[in-house]
Structure 1
Amino acid sequence: KEEDTLTTSYSVLRIVFLSTANLIEEDYGPLGSQVPKNEVPLISPLRSYVATSVLFFINLLNYMDRYLIAGVLKDIQKYFDINDSSSGLLQTVFIFSYMLLAPLFGYLGDRYNRKLLMCVGILLWCIVTLASSFITQNYFWLLLLTRAIVGIGEASYSTIAPTIIGDFFVGTKRTWMLSIFYIAIPVGSGLGYIMASSVNQLAGDWHWALRVTPCLGSVALVMLIFLVPNPTRGASECPQPTPAEKSSFKEDLKYLLHNCSFIWSSMGTTAVSFVTGALAFWTPVYLSRAQLAQGHSPSTPPLIFGGLTCVTGVLGVVIGAEASRRLKSWNPRIDPLICAFGMFSSSSCLYLAIVLAKISRPTTFIFIFFAETFMALNYAIVADILLYVVVPTRRSMAEAIQITICHALGDAGSPYLIGIVSQHNTHLKSTYWDFVSLEYAFLICPFVGILGGAFFLMNARHIEADRQRAAQHIQGDHRGDRPHGTGAFVGFNPGQGWGWLTHAP
């Protein structure tokens, strides 16, 4: 009887395993594309636009949730009795888990059902975020743990969604759809501040700020299941299906590390991530301390900063996308050049905003407006660069590696670093020294921004060759698979001058 029981148990487990494997295969299951392997599905323009709208909505919720903590940070500090360095850990643990799991989801996203992977991630994010809203005063470590788990859920979505949009559209239309998708970064961040602060004021308890996005996330999950198709990889770029290349993680990584444009654009967006991560987390606190240092009572900095972030984000993304569209015929390298211009200009405005905060509040907000607008020029353009310099079957992995790089060296550590430097510079316990110490720490950001601009200039050096190589691969000429040389410095000769910045190759 025991043998029969074991045999029956084995049979049941085998059926469950095979059913699960069948479900996650990219072409099968209720969440799959339901398209034979030898056909490229025809997705109507209307359905593509609807699907992009759903993906935008989910991305909006992701960034709202990411910056809810920053909108109620002062209340969290009082509730748990923590200092600046401990507060910075809340964002750092989230980003740390987010970047560690991104390569895994990138690897899976290039091989299995992308839609199902996103559904699982969103479900996990909703459950854990809601659970974190019930944490009590003696369990700060548990809040850190839940923020880390939320990062895992968001990693599944952020690595995969842009590649699906890339399979819906091509050319200028793809740039605009990516622009809409990435508008969710600044708008979602700003709405996160506004919603968290407003809900906190209405409810009188910061815990309620963490209970809104999970409810909206459940609605988004249903929309994702029923309204978003699962397109064939590369469907928008070639009339025949992209061959299912069974490459290993090592081969994918080697390919990406030899892609100069991918490396330099990733380093540039790392600088963007460092600056935006630090500013998003600490700016409301910094502006409040500036008012206290001047002898004034703080007047809702999260609401004002959140509104600025929304407006500047939309403005910057639209300007960046339109500038790319109009100027590309003049210079094929214009995309990374726009990003470099945005970083240099943003750094100058940011420096002025930081040093003028203790002198003139209106002037500070003016320079914050310009700094964030210039910074937002990068969002959609960087995503578009990745899609046209990387072959379709490696785009999810490329998204994942870029996320890992930009967060590992960017906003995974920048909030904590700013908090540590601020804490180290606090010599006296006073409102003035609290402000000055954070001001000194903030001055790191403009210099990192200048470094990011230099990375984008190097990106411009290689962009055309890498774009042509990826296009050859898509059309079936695999001689262009592997870039010649050994890395991101290939082909760079300072003696040639900088005329390539303004001339086509």
Structure 2
Amino acid sequence: MELKGSVTIGQDGPQPRASLGSISSLHYGSFVNSLSSLTPKLDERPAISRRRAHITVAVLCYVNLLNYMERYTIAGVLLNIQTFFDIHDSTAGLLQTVFICSFLLTAPLFGYLGDRYNRVHIMAVGLTVWLVTATGSSFVTNSYFWLLVLLRGLVGIGEASYSTIAPTIIGDLFTGGQRTIMIAAFYIFIPVGSGLGYITGASVASLTGDWHWSLRITPIFGLVGLFLVVLLCPNPPRGVAENNHHDGNNRSSYLEDIKYLLKNKSYIWSTLGVTAMAFLTGALAFWMPSFLFRAQVSQGLRPPCTKGSCNSIDSFIFGAITVVSGILGVCIGTGLARWLRNKVPNADPLICAGGMLGSVPCLFISIFVATASIPATYVFVFIAELLLSLNWSLLADMLLYIVVPTRRATAEALQITVCHLLGDAGSPYLIGIISDAIQKSKPPSSTWSFLSLQYSFLICPFVAIIGGIFFLMTALYISDDRTAAQQLVEDTFLQGPTPEPTVEMNNPQSG
């Protein structure tokens, strides 16, 4: 089938051509629809082979694993860092806040670039920045805490380039159920990488007696990831998976993209839901090992850490809990979504709401039971993280099917900006400020140090309730917004093959 001023239909040799006069009895729109129905047959051979697409996902998953390992290695050795620099809770929380702030401030830039230029090149530059600054942060001495904070901020810039763009590449390689599975595979490495970050950081610090070495592991593996991205990852045409090919340049302005997203109600509500989840997971991820350590010190089960290398067994255990609960949660969430999606059109946001609201009682119990039983605390933390992990892959999948392909990187970037700005950029610092303020109300003691952090944690269950409500609101609009995105893609595709507003077709019977 060709559309070059004339149209030839048929694949078994030359076929007679029809003019507009010979189809005057047909509605032009019906003719275009019937013509477009033949198009998938012409695209039986995909632009990127299935094998290469799967290799690409494997490489992106590997780098995603390293990203989150590096991000939470700091939390795994936080006790050592606080002792090394002699800093309070609020100052320690600033490490994560600065990292997330640079991450969120540069994400819109990478989203803009990712919708218009070669995404592999952008990721390669970002990963290079990440490798250099992450390695540099491992050489900071105790007199230069401000330098560690600065380098953590630069690490966030590198990670922003990757986290913004990688999901959109997967979205352009797969559709439907396959996309859901591949997105699940990609996002399962968020909790896995986070958990391994705690374990790796604590292990290396324990073996070497120096927490600096724990920050040098992921850059070594990251160098391998950089080469794999450059050599093996393609930059698929935007929308190729939906048969809506683009040349890589988005003709709409950035302001038009923003207006489009602001009109997408399910995108707005889901972004608010993701923000609440980011606030919650950011606070738990950064402070939970320290919280568990202080709980045991207050009960006399462990001596306080005042100098040297601190006991990091809680980072080991919490890391293992994060890995296992993350894998199970993502698998269960993906399985539920695939089972319910055809039966319940708004199943994805309902599952996310269920995960958020279900974690509320578990969080309350884990916060208060730590006073009496550490094993029980671990159990309820595991259940809470399992329920929250139901959401990881569904959040990305929802964004991909409610936003048109040429605006996905921008949508991803803006969602990252909002959820980190109002979420985990401030939550570790806020928890630290509240904890410090409570500690100052009484003379210092191990018990009061634990209780101050325990009371500051109470903000988390309330944020989880708010997040659940946001996802319930998303469920009200997601079906309509998904249909609207699909219709816009189809309309763009139907208009794409026609080079001119009018098409002249020759009738063999008319001369």
Q: TM-score range by the shorter chain?
A: 0.7 to 0.9
Matching residue of 1:435: 450
Contact 2:57/2:186, CA 8 A, preserved across alignment:
yes
Matching residue of 1:188: 193
Contact 1:270/1:410, CA 8 A, preserved across alignment:
yes
1:428, distance to aligned residue in structure 2 (A): 2.0
1:478, distance to aligned residue in structure 2 (A): 9.4
SS at match of 1:476: helix
Q: Please state if 1:321 is matched with 2:337.
A: no
CA distance in 2, matches of 1:179, 1:130: 30
Matching residue of 2:215: 210
CA distance in 2, matches of 1:364, 1:413: 25
Q: Please state if 1:345 is matched with 2:350.
A: no
Matching residue of 1:421: 434
1:41, distance to aligned residue in structure 2 (A): 6.0
SS at match of 2:139: coil
CA distance in 2, matches of 1:329, 1:61: 35
1:391 is aligned, of 397, 404, 427, to: 404
> TM (normalized to structure 1)?
0.86
Matching residue of 1:48: 53
SS at match of 2:131: helix
Matching residue of 2:180: 175
Matching residue of 1:80: 85
1:356 is aligned, of 369, 372, 385, to: 369
Q: Which amino acid in 1 is paired with 2:406? A: T
CA distance in 2, matches of 1:159, 1:240: 21
Q: Which amino acid in 1 is paired with 2:383? A: F
Q: Which amino acid in 1 is paired with 2:434? A: V
| Change beyond 3 A, Cα 1:243–1:197 | closer
Q: Please state if 1:403 is matched with 2:403.
A: no
Flag the structure with more relative contact order, 1 or 2, with Cα contacts below 8 A and sequence separation at least 6: 2
1:240, distance to aligned residue in structure 2 (A): 4.5
CA distance in 1, matches of 2:153, 2:493: 40
| Change beyond 3 A, Cα 1:82–1:274 | same
Q: Please state if 1:382 is matched with 2:395.
A: yes
CA distance in 2, matches of 1:95, 1:287: 24
CA distance in 1, matches of 2:177, 2:247: 22
1:165 is aligned, of 163, 167, 170, to: 170
Matching residue of 1:100: 105
Q: Please state if 1:459 is matched with 2:464.
A: no
CA distance in 2, matches of 1:292, 1:158: 38
2:487 is aligned, of 448, 461, 472, to: 472
Q: Please state if 1:68 is matched with 2:99.
A: no
CA distance in 1, matches of 2:124, 2:492: 35
CA distance in 2, matches of 1:258, 1:474: 17
State the Cα deviation string for residues 403-449 of structure 1 (Å, max 9, x = none).
00100000000000000000001122000000000000001001100
Matching residue of 2:143: 138
SS at match of 1:43: coil
Contact 1:92/1:411, CA 8 A, preserved across alignment:
yes
SS at match of 1:229: coil
Contact 2:238/2:248, CA 8 A, preserved across alignment:
no
CA distance in 1, matches of 2:323, 2:249: 40
> TM (normalized to structure 2)?
0.85
Contact 2:117/2:248, CA 8 A, preserved across alignment:
no
1:46, distance to aligned residue in structure 2 (A): 1.1
Contact 1:234/1:242, CA 8 A, preserved across alignment:
no
Contact 1:235/1:242, CA 8 A, preserved across alignment:
no
| Change beyond 3 A, Cα 1:40–1:398 | farther
1:248, distance to aligned residue in structure 2 (A): 1.5
Contact 1:337/1:457, CA 8 A, preserved across alignment:
yes
State the Cα deviation string for residues 216-272 of structure 1 (Å, max 9, x = none).
010001111111111000111116447844122111111111110110110001111
State the Cα deviation string for residues 297-318 of structure 1 (Å, max 9, x = none).
1761000000000000000000
Contact 1:242/1:393, CA 8 A, preserved across alignment:
no
Q: Which amino acid in 1 is paired with 2:446? A: T
SS at match of 1:291: helix
Matching residue of 1:448: 463
Structure 2 runs not aligned, ≥5 long = 1-42, 304-310, 495-511
SS at match of 2:241: coil
1:208, distance to aligned residue in structure 2 (A): 0.3
1:367, distance to aligned residue in structure 2 (A): 0.4
1:187, distance to aligned residue in structure 2 (A): 0.5
Deviating more after overlay: 262-271 vs 243-252? 243-252
**Pairwise CA RMSD:** 1.6
Contact 2:340/2:347, CA 8 A, preserved across alignment:
yes
1:220 is aligned, of 213, 219, 225, to: 225
2:324 is aligned, of 297, 306, 311, to: 311
SS at match of 1:332: coil
Which portions of structure 1, spanning 4 or more consecutive aligned residues, are displaced by more than 2 angstroms?
A: 38-41, 239-245
Q: Which amino acid in 2 is paired with 1:462? A: Y
Highest CA radius of gyration, 1 or 2? 2
